[in-house]
Structure 1
Amino acid sequence: MKKKLANNLSLKVISVLIACVIWILVSGTVDPVRTNVRYSGVKVEVKNDGYILDAGKSYQIADEYQTVTVYVTGKKSVVEGRTDIAVEADLTQIVNMDTNPAYVPVTLKSVSGISEEDVTIIPKTIPVTIEDTATKEFLVTGMSTGTPGSGYVVGECTTDPEKIQIQGPESVVNKIKSVVATVSADGMTMDATKKAKITLIDQNGEPMSEEYLQFFNISDDHYVNVLMKLWRVQDDVKIKANYSGTPAKGYQVDKITTTPETISIAGSEAALKKLEDNGNTLEIPGELINVDGINSDLEANVKLSALISEEDELKIPEEVGQSVAVKVSILPYGSREYNLKTDAIQIQGLASDLRASYNKDEISIRVKGTEANLDALKTGDIKAVIDLTGKTAGEYTIPVTITLPDGYEQVEEVQATVQLNQADKTSE
C-alpha cells in the first residue's frame, strides 16, 4: 500500500501546483487589481487648529480647497465602493505663520485595507490663509418659514440668546452684515420654541456658505433657540378712510369708498381686543388723504403697513393684499352720487346672436337737486339705457343715457364698459 502511494506522489504534487496556478488565475480574474479608482469631493478634515488659534491668529481655507480628489490602487474588492475614504490636514505642519498663504500637506487618515503608498491625493497640499483675529457682537434675528395652522400667523420671532459673539478671521468677520436663525412654522396652532442653526448674511444680503462657520469661534455652538408666538387672524375688519383739507369753492366731499371694504388682520389677543373695542375698524388717517382745492374725484393707494406698527401688535397676513384703493367723490354743492346696478340698465339694439356683460356691478350717477329732492330720490326712479346697434363681438365703452324725474339734473355723463360675446347656441 505504501509503495502504491509513493508511486503516485509526484502526480499529486503536480496536481496541487496546477490547482494553485488555476486559483491564482481565477482570483485575478474575479478580483483584479484596479488602478487609480477615483473618489472626488473628499472632505479635508482640519487637525490641530488650536496650533493657530493659541497663537492669537485665525485661519480660513477657500471653498475650492476644502475637498480633494483621492485615487486608490488595489484589489477591486478593497478599493471600489468605499465610503470611508478620509483625509486630513495637520496645521502643526505650518512652520512659519507669517507666510500668506501657508501650505499644508493633505494625508490619508487610517483606512482599513488601504496603505498610504497606494493612494494619490490631488492636490497634495492646500493653501491656508492666516490672519489676525477679529471679534464682533451681532443681534440674532428670528425668522419663520412655512404656513401655520388655519386662522393663525407667526406674530413674533425672538431668539435666545438675542446676541452672539463671533470671533474669526478679520477679513471674513468684516463681511458679516447680520445673523439670522430660521425655523419652520408649518401647521403650528400654538406658541413653540425650536432650535435653529444660525445663518450669516454678508454685506450684499446673501447667505454666506456654512463652510465659513468652521473658521469661527461662535458662542452657543452655532445654534440658538427661536420662540415663535402665534397671532390669531380676525376676518371682516372694516376700513374707514378719513380725509383732510377743503375742496375747491363750490365743491364738497360726497363720500369716500375703499377697495376692498374689509380685510383680515392678525394680532395678539390684547391688540385684537382693542380692535374690537373700535368696532373692528381700521382707520386711514386724514393726513394721508388731502382734498385741499380739489374739484374732481381723488383716488389714492394706501399701504396697509402705514396704518399699523410693531407697537400695535398687529400684522397683515401675507395672503391679504398689502394696499387699499381709496376713492373720494368730489361733487358740486347741491348734488349727490347714486349707484345703479348694471343689470338694471336697459339694452337696445343688441344683435340676437350676442350676449352682453359688464366689467362692473354698478355705475355711479351724479344728480343735482334740492336737498329734499335728493333725499327723496331712489335708484329705482333712475332710468338708464345703452344702445348697441351695429356692435359685433368685442369690448366697448358705451355712453349711458340717463333719464331722471322732474326737478333733477344730471351733473356729468356716464359710461359703461360692455363685453359682447357670441351666444351659446345650446342655451339659445
Structure 2
Amino acid sequence: MKNKSLFGRLLDNKKLVLILSLLLSLTFWMISSDNTTSTITDVPISYNLSESASKDLKIFSTSIDKVTINVSGKRVIIDSLSVSDVTASVDLFSINKPVTGTYPVVVKNNSNMSFDIESIEPENITIMIDREATKTVNIVSNFSYNPEGYYVENNLPQTVEITGPETLINKVKSAYVTGKVNSPDASTVTNTYSLRLFDSEDPNSAGAQEISTEYITMSFSSVDVSFRFMKIDENVPFTIKYTPSNIKLNTFYYTVSPSTISVAGPEELVTGENAITEFAIDIGSLSKYKNQIYNETFNISDVLGDSFINKSDGVETIKVQLDFSNFNMETFEVPSTKIKINNLPEGYNYSVPSTFAVSVVGTATALDNLTENSFSIVYDFADVNPTSDTPVDVPVSITVNSNGLCWVYRTSETVSVQLTKN
C-alpha cells in the first residue's frame, strides 16, 4: 500500500476536520453579522401635489432634483442596496395656492430588507409653486462700437417669449442685451450675447432690478447678432427717372421735397469712385401724364433699396410735383401706312384702320414740328389668343420721333381689334 499524502491524512483526522468547519462557520457568521454604513447617491425626488391643485398649479423647483442617503445595517444587506431600494419624496398634498417655501425630503425603505436611514443630503428643498404664465417682452440693447463714426445696423430680434411662475413673469418688463462690438476694418461682424431680464422697460434706469431666470425659461437665452458698419452721407440729392429715357425733362418741370436726404450705406457706395451721387425716383412712363399738375408721393425705403438706411429723422416719404400745365396736348391722325402688323395669327385677317389717333403732350414748338412721318405704330399679336368670336386686346407700341420735348399720352397699352378668319 502506498503512503497517503499529508492532505489525505489530515482529512482522515475527523477531529481536525470538525475544528476547521467550526472555525469557517464562525468566520462567516462574524462577517455576515458585522454592521456597516454606506451611501446611496442620485436618488430622484418625487413631489406629491393633489390632483385638483395639479390642474391649476405647477411646481417650479431648484436645480436640486436628487438627494444622497446615508444608510447603515448588516454588511450583507448594505452591500446589496441600490437606488431602487429607497424613495425620496416631498409632501405637497395640502397646498392649493401659489406659495414659495422650504419642505422636508422624506425617505422610505422601498425593499423588504432591514436597514436604517441615518441621514439625507439635503434634508430640505426650496420649492416655488405657482400658476404657469407666458408673455412676450421687448429686447432692449446697449452696444458700444469700435470704430466710432459709423451707423451700425444689427439684426437683434425685437422680442423674446418667457415662461415661468406667474408671480415672476408679471414682474418682467424687458430683456436686456449689452456688449462691445469691435470691427477694426468696419466690416460686418457677428457676436453672441446672453439675455438678462429686468423689472423695468429701461434696464439702465435708476432702480431697475435684474430678475433671476432660475425658474424662467426663454424662447432663446442667447442670440447671435450680426453688425453691419455703414458710412453716413448727410446730403444726397434726388432726381427723377422716367421712360422713355431719350426724353430729357428739365428740373424746371418738377420739384422734390425733401430735395436731399441723409443716408447710411456701405462705405464703397458712400465714398470713393463708386459712391452714389443721387437717388433716382422712378415715376414710370411719361405716357400717363397729360398737360396738368401732378402730385406724387413715394416711400423713401422704396427709393433707397436694401443697400441704404434713411437717417433723416421724421422723413419717411418723398413728395414730387410734376408741372406740365404749360405744355399743350394735340391729337394726330396717323395714316395706316405708318402702322405695322407683327405676328398675325395664321388663318386670321385684320383690317388696319385708315388712320390711328395719337395724343401727344409737349411744348408748342415740339408739337408744331410733328408730322405723320414722326410716328411709328406696331401691333404685336405674339401673345394674343386669336378668336373671331369677340374682339381681342392687342399690345400696341407707339413711337414719336421729335427733337423737342414731347411724349405720347395713352390710357392703355392695348387696342381692341376684331379678327376675321380667312
Question: TM-score normalised by the shorter chain: which range applies?
Answer: 0.3 to 0.5
Larger proportion of helix: 1
TM-score, length-normalised on structure 2? Answer: 0.39
